[in-house]
Amino acid sequence: MRQAFVHEAVVLMEPGGDVGAPGAAVTVALCGHWEHEPPCPLAPHHTSATRSGDELRLRVLFVAEPVSEAEVRSRIEAALSQPGFDGPDGVTTRWRLRSARRGRVLDDEAEHAGRLLQS
């Protein structure tokens, strides 16, 4: 039975970088492309990003079978370990992964996690 998980990361991003680029990279790693028909094939997910100076804090809320959790986390970290991402407009956003770790689903994410579980 699928469960909700969170993966947190901090990347250092160049000034003016697209804060959506790391989330797009995660989607490509999990789904093959940032634009695809639902549902996500491996792990329905949502990435939120909060910028403070050159730091971008990411939270990837995802649902998966417990046996797939490690693979999903590995793909997320691999995507964020890349030096950047080429957006659909041809602009490359660069970053460097500072840290990544397991997180926990927060109370205010429970409803969203429930919707992901239904997808």
CA–CA dist 116, 98 (Å, integer): 28
**Phi, psi of 103, rounded to the nearest 5 degrees:** -125, -175
Closest CA relative to residue 77, chosen from 4, 3, 8: 8
What parts of the chain have a pLDDT lower than 50? none
Please give the model's pTM, rounded to 2 decimal places: 0.94
Q: Which fold has domain 3-118?
A: Alpha-Beta Plaits (3.30.70)
- Torsion, Cα of 8, 66, 45, 107 (10° steps): -60
pLDDT for residue 13: 96
Structure tokens at 36: 């695809």
pLDDT confidence of residue 58: 98
The confidence score (pLDDT) of residue 14 equals 87
